[in-house]
Chains A and B, each alone.
Chain A
Amino acid sequence: MRCSWAESGGSVGEPPAGPAPGAFARAWAKALSGTSYLPMTHAQLEALLQRLTDQLAEALRTEPLDLRAGHRVASELVAAHIASAEALGRTVEVIQLRLVRDLDLVADDTADRMARLLAAIATGYARALRDRTLDEQEAIRRATLTARADAERALRASEARFRHQATHDPLTDLPNRTLFAERLAAVLDGSTSGVHRVGLCFLDIDRFKRINDSYGHQIGDRALVAAAHRLSRAVEPHLVARLGGDAFVILVERSTGTGDVLAVAESALAALAEPVLVGGHDCTVTASVGIVERRVADTSPDDLMRAAGSTLHWAKTAGGAGWAMYDAERDEREQARQALSAAIPGGLERGEFYLDYQPLTSLQDGSVLGVEALVRWRHPQLGVLSPDSFIGLAEETGLIVPLGAWVLAEACREAVGWSTATGEPPYVSVNLAVRQLRRPGLVQEVRSLLRRTGLPPNRLQLEITESMMMGGAEEPVRTLRALADLGVRIAIDDFGTGYSNLAYLRDLPVTELKVAGEFVRGLRAPEAADERILASLVSLAHALDLTVTAEGVETVGQAERLRAIGCDAGQGWHFGRPAPADHILARIR
Chain B
Amino acid sequence: MQRPDWAPETIDVERPSVARMYDYYLGGSHNFAVDRAAAQAMVAAVPEAPLMAQANRAFLRRAVQFLTNAGIRQFLDIGSGIPTVGNVHEIAQRHAPDSRVVYVDVDPVAVAHSREILAGTEGATVVQEDLRHPERILAHPDVRANLDFSQPVAVLVVAVLHFVGDHDRPAEVLRTLRAALAPGSHLVLSQASDDGRSDAERAEAQKVYQRTDSPLWVRSRAELTAFFDGFELVDPGVVWVPQWRPETPDSAEDAERAVFLGGVGRLGG
Interface of A with B (CB < 8 Å)? 2, 4-5, 7-8, 11-13, 33-34, 36-43, 81, 83-84, 132-134, 136-137, 139-140, 142-144, 146-148, 150-151, 154-155, 158-159, 161-162, 166
Contact = CB atoms under 8 A, between A and B. Distances in A.
Given A5-B87, A139-B116, A146-B112, A37 B4 contact: no
Contacts of A39: 57, 61, 85-86, 90-91
A13 B64 CA distance: 12
B95 A84 contact: no
Given A13-B69, A147-B11, A140 B61 contact: no
B90 A150 contact: no
A15 to B, nearest CB: 13
Contacts of B84: 4
B45 to A, nearest CB: 20
B112 A7 contact: no
A492 to B, nearest CB: 64
Contacts of A144: 11, 13, 109, 112
Nearest to B29: A136
Contacts of B61: 39
B95 A4 contact: no
A37 B54 contact: yes
The 7 closest A-B pairs by CB, nearest first: A39-B86, A143-B113, A136-B29, A147-B112, A147-B108, A37-B54, A146-B112
A11 B251 CA distance: 20
B209 to A, nearest CB: 21
A42 B250 CA distance: 12
B98 to A, nearest CB: 14
Given A13-B69, A148-B10, 8 more contacts: A34-B54, A37-B27, A37-B53, A139-B117, A140-B20, A140-B30, A143-B112, A147-B111
A185 B53 CA distance: 62
A84 B91 CA distance: 22
Interface in B8-36: 8-11, 13, 20, 26-32
Contacts of B32: 140
A146 B69 contact: no
A2 B108 contact: no
Contacts of B85: 4-5, 8, 37-39, 81
B94 interface: yes
Nearest to B94: A12
A154 B11 CA distance: 12
Nearest to B92: A12
A158 B29 CA distance: 34
B247 interface: yes
A42 B29 contact: no
Main SS of chain A's interface residues? Answer: helix
Max chain A CB contacts within 10 Å: which of B1, B20, B85, B108? B85
A36 B25 CA distance: 9
Contact of B7 (A41, A132, A158): A158
A538 to B, nearest CB: 77
A12 B65 contact: yes
B34 to A, nearest CB: 12
Contacts of A161: 4, 6
A300 B86 CA distance: 69
A43 B251 CA distance: 13
A296 to B, nearest CB: 29
B117 A5 contact: yes
B74 interface: no
A49 to B, nearest CB: 16
21 contacts: A12-B68, A36-B27, A36-B54, A37-B27, A37-B86, A39-B57, A39-B61, A39-B86, A39-B91, A81-B27, A83-B27, A136-B29, A140-B32, A140-B109, A143-B30, A144-B11, A146-B115, A147-B112, A158-B4, A158-B7, A161-B6
Contacts of A12: 65, 68-69, 91, 94-95
Contacts of A139: 30, 113, 116-117
Interface string B35-59: 0000000000000000101100110
Given A37-B86, A146-B116, A136 B30 contact: yes
A143 B109 contact: yes
Contacts of A36: 26-27, 54
A37 B26 contact: yes
A158 B6 contact: yes
Nearest to B114: A143
A161 B51 CA distance: 47
A42 B112 contact: no
B123 to A, nearest CB: 14
B157 interface: no
A102 to B, nearest CB: 21
B53 A5 contact: no
B150 interface: no
A445 B26 CA distance: 92
Contacts of B210: none
A267 to B, nearest CB: 36
B258 to A, nearest CB: 12
Contacts of B57: 37, 39
A151 B9 contact: yes
Contacts of A150: 8, 108, 112
A136 B112 contact: no
B169 to A, nearest CB: 27
B188 interface: no
B248 interface: yes
Contact of A142 (B13, B31, B82, B116): B116
B152 interface: no
B207 to A, nearest CB: 26
B83 interface: yes
Interface string B99-123: 0000000001111110111000000
Contacts of B113: 139-140, 142-143
Contacts of B112: 143-144, 146-147, 150
B7 A143 contact: no
B109 A147 contact: yes
Max chain B CB contacts within 10 Å: which of A2, A36, A140? A140
Max chain B CB contacts within 10 Å: which of A5, A83, A134, A146? A5
Nearest to B107: A147
B249 to A, nearest CB: 11
B86 A158 contact: no
Given A36-B54, A37-B57, A140 B82 contact: yes
A33 B246 CA distance: 14
Max chain B CB contacts within 10 Å: which of A12, A34, A39, A148? A12
B58 A37 contact: yes
A5 B13 CA distance: 23
